[in-house]
Amino acid sequence: MPIFEIDGKLWLLETKHQAYAIGFTEKGFLVNTYWGERLDNIRNYPLPRDHFASDSFDSEFETLPEEFPVLNGMKFVEPCLITRFFDGTRDLELDFEKFELDPQANFLRIYLSDSVYHFRVVLNFRVYEHEDIIEKWIEIENMDGVNDAIVKRIFSGNFCLGGEHDYRIIHTWGKWFNEMNISDDSLIHGKVVLESRRLTTSHHHNPSVIFYPNKICESHGEAYAISLGWSGNWKLVAEKNSLEKTRVTVGINDWDFELVLKPQQTFQTPPIYFSWTDQGIRAISHTFHNFIQSHLLPHPNKPRKVLYNSWEATFFNVNLVEQKKLAEMAAGVGVELFVVDDGWFHGRNSDQAGLGDWWHDAKKFPNGLQPLSDFVHQLGMDFGLWIEPEMVNPDSNLYRLHPDWVLHFDKRKQTLARNQCILNMAIPGVQEYLFEKIASLIEDNDIQFIKWDMNRNVSEPGWDREDGGSSCEIWVRYVEGVYSLWQRLAMAFPRVLWQTCSGGGGRIDTGIFRYADQAWLSDNTDPLKRIFIQEGYSLFYPALTMESWVTESGYENTPLDFRFLVSMSGVLGIGSNLLHWSDTEMKIAKKWIHVYKEHREIIQFGRQYRLISPRESEVSAIAYQNDDCSKGVLFVYNRKMESESQTVIIYPLMLERNKVYQFDGLENRQSGADWMQNGVPLVLSGFSALFVPYNML
């Protein structure tokens, strides 16, 4: 059983490999006594113990591993909850109220409450035993019948990393056009803060991170992984205090934040998903890939189609005649989904106008989009469309009609970015308008795929609330608005697949994957850069969600085969202008799309192995293998530009030792043990890539 309860005082949450224990000390503090390897016997788990002040400057809270520290007492660790009550009191005193355990759902709720101010905090835990994931989140409730409670901060949770180690943190950072760089840094005495204040998750830091105490590599080492399921402003604080204790708090960013809980109102935080391993970074990746696929994605088992996207081919210059030609060419090489990107809607000829007016541009599509959609369907492809629902250009009918619908401060200048403003997604009328427009598009044009974009960061986050509530809630209510619109559309059109995009990888997280089936990682489609972006992405996010297009971007002499092989390691797409491709290029495309379709099951649903990182060598390699180890594919990339051929040895450490394998193109049939020990010799010419399927015999 994944959740044990002992005397209503101690709870043990177990997954396949990890355990997480929480319980009350004698003084009544709820502490996290253990997070790590699953132990054989319940008696072996550490019991909750009280700690003592070290002197009059450092109280017990500096070392006590509180599960959910709130602002109170002589405490200087980061609290997860800061409130202000009607009389100005800012401390909370929480006592145990009750717990509820639902063994069928592997779900535990622990209720704590402040009896003076009638404020309740519920800690929720859900255990995904086989997936090795535990999820936790918080609910708060103002039970006072009369007074509001002001919430200045409400994080989703806190983690106390064991021992007095020098922990390090691995996370991805970047910017537009350069997302998902992997960094590996020491925590200092003091705090490391990662956050977004940009309204979305951001290109700059990703809220899925790994902490580790000693050494780590792909296959060995202890790691604690934490991922926040939230697509708005977030904050992670990792603190190593002067008593050598390391804590991590994470949740919705409290910067410019305020929540007013009216009497009887509740609020629920986004979830944190977490996992422990002693099997290195790869185990964390596998755990999250599997979890995201099996528990978050709306269409977990649908093979992702080979797509064509018009953006880099035509930019805003979209029209029926050319799109039809492109569609014909795309179908000819085996594309299965044709997506019309930006430029198709009313008044959209550049980034100056049109956003908000979500109907076809009558000059470009005199009879609407249906003739194109029908044509695409007749060619045997699905039809997809780009939208950017949250945005509006001042030069649009929508803005002229509803200038008050955008985020703004009445008496401040409006900052435009890419000539656009941000619609206030917290306003029900905005959601209603968007639902109606998007639903008609999907219905009228038989759409199977939507790319949902969001192309700017925030400014002037004002909100004239009709109900007099705090406008600082915008950071939360905006994201909830996006989620709820998306959810409504997903329910109305369950067969549509969705892509998340925010100028590339600005909104990628375990929150958005409850709505989006795949993601656009970066506007940078140069394969030499993409190899790195895709590696960073793979730390947490699965190949099934990783859309990657072949384009002309980057170094012009990059071979087309190389471009295809980089894109084939995720969800393959083409973004080039096919009307400019030669017969030879079309043949190459046809060949690789065919190969991809033969092997996509393994790439999209298999396990990924980062065999040689591009950060370590100019020759890098990844593999995908199915669960029973009977089939796999190797991708090898040589970024060295010199032209001589060289033999590289790849060690495929994921084979079954006692089974015999054969790699395409090599005559030898050897045991898995042999290949793993002696490697697979592959001949690579300069600046080239190889695709090598293999089989168990």
Instruction: Report the nearest approach of ligand GLA to the CB of residue 545 (Å).
Output: 16
Between 344 and 399, whose beta carbon lies closer to ligand GLA? 344
Between 276 and 358, whose beta carbon lies closer to ligand GLA? 358
Residue 609 in 3-state DSSP? strand
Q: Among 534, 532, 590, which Cα is nearest to 561's?
A: 590
Between 18 and 518, whose beta carbon lies closer to ligand GLA? 518
Report, in angstroms and rounded to the nearest whole number, the Rg of the chain calculated over CA atoms.
26
Instruction: Report the nearest approach of ligand GLA to the CB of residue 486 (Å).
Output: 18
Q: Among 567, 341, 532, 347, which Cα is nearest to 455's?
A: 341
Between 350 and 613, whose beta carbon lies closer to ligand GLA? 350
Instruction: Report the nearest approach of ligand GLA to the CB of residue 346 (Å).
Output: 15
- Which residues 6+ apart lie within 8 Å of 696 measured at CB? 629, 630, 631, 656, 659, 660, 661
CA distances from 60 to 65, 79, 94, 438 (A): 10, 14, 17, 55
Residue 326 in 3-state DSSP? helix
Handedness of CA 481, 482, 484, 485 (dihedral sign): positive
Distance CA 499, CA 516 (A): 5
Distance CA 57, CA 74 (A): 9
Instruction: Report the nearest approach of ligand GLA to the CB of residue 352 (Å).
Output: 12
CA distances from 407 to 94, 198, 501 (A): 37, 13, 21
Between 271 and 503, whose beta carbon lies closer to ligand GLA? 503
Between 126 and 456, whose beta carbon lies closer to ligand GLA? 456
Q: In b/e form, how buried is each residue of 369-397, taking b as 16+ CB within 10 angstroms?
A: beebbebbbebebbbbbbbbbbbbbbbbe
Between 3 and 318, whose beta carbon lies closer to ligand GLA? 318
- Which residues 6+ apart lie within 8 Å of 163 measured at CB? 213
Say if residues 454 and 399 touch (Cβ distance below 8 Å): no
Between 141 and 388, whose beta carbon lies closer to ligand GLA? 388
Between 424 and 522, whose beta carbon lies closer to ligand GLA? 522
Write out the residues near ligand GLA by the rule CB under 6 A: 311, 341-342, 386, 453, 455, 501, 503-504, 520, 523
Tell me which DSSP letter residue 604 carries: H
Instruction: Report the nearest approach of ligand GLA to the CB of residue 478 (Å).
Output: 20
Distance CA 57, CA 459 (A): 41
**Phi, psi angle pair for 83, to nearest 5°:** -125, 165
Between 134 and 578, whose beta carbon lies closer to ligand GLA? 578
Query: Which tokens is 396 given?
Result: 């649009």
Instruction: Report the nearest approach of ligand GLA to the CB of residue 198 (Å).
Output: 15
- By beta carbon distance, the residue nearest ligand GLA is 342
Between 114 and 523, whose beta carbon lies closer to ligand GLA? 523
Instruction: Report the nearest approach of ligand GLA to the CB of residue 174 (Å).
Output: 14
Q: In b/e form, how buried is each residue of 193-224, taking b as 16+ CB within 10 angstroms?
A: ebbbbbbbbbbbbbbbbbbbbeebebebbbbb
Q: Among 365, 303, 308, which Cα is nearest to 543's?
A: 303
Instruction: Report the nearest approach of ligand GLA to the CB of residue 459 (Å).
Output: 18
Instruction: Report the nearest approach of ligand GLA to the CB of residue 452 (Å).
Output: 10
Instruction: Report the nearest approach of ligand GLA to the CB of residue 453 (Å).
Output: 5
Between 61 and 541, whose beta carbon lies closer to ligand GLA? 541
Instruction: Report the nearest approach of ligand GLA to the CB of residue 418 (Å).
Output: 8
Between 135 and 312, whose beta carbon lies closer to ligand GLA? 312
Say if residues 129 and 15 touch (Cβ distance below 8 Å): yes
- Which residues 6+ apart lie within 8 Å of 504 measured at CB? 176, 177, 179, 203, 520, 521, 522, 523, 524
Instruction: Report the nearest approach of ligand GLA to the CB of residue 227 (Å).
Output: 23
Tell me which DSSP letter residue 293 carries: I
Instruction: Report the nearest approach of ligand GLA to the CB of residue 501 (Å).
Output: 5
Distance CA 355, CA 399 (A): 9
Residue 366: other Cβ atoms inside 10 A: 11
Between 455 and 608, whose beta carbon lies closer to ligand GLA? 455
Q: Among 192, 155, 186, which Cα is nearest to 170's?
A: 186
Instruction: Report the nearest approach of ligand GLA to the CB of residue 398 (Å).
Output: 17
Instruction: Report the nearest approach of ligand GLA to the CB of residue 309 (Å).
Output: 7
Distance CA 640, CA 281 (A): 27
- Is 88 exposed, middle or buried, given 0-12, 13-18 or 19+ CB atoms closer than 10 A? exposed
Between 344 and 687, whose beta carbon lies closer to ligand GLA? 344
Say if residues 246 and 161 touch (Cβ distance below 8 Å): yes
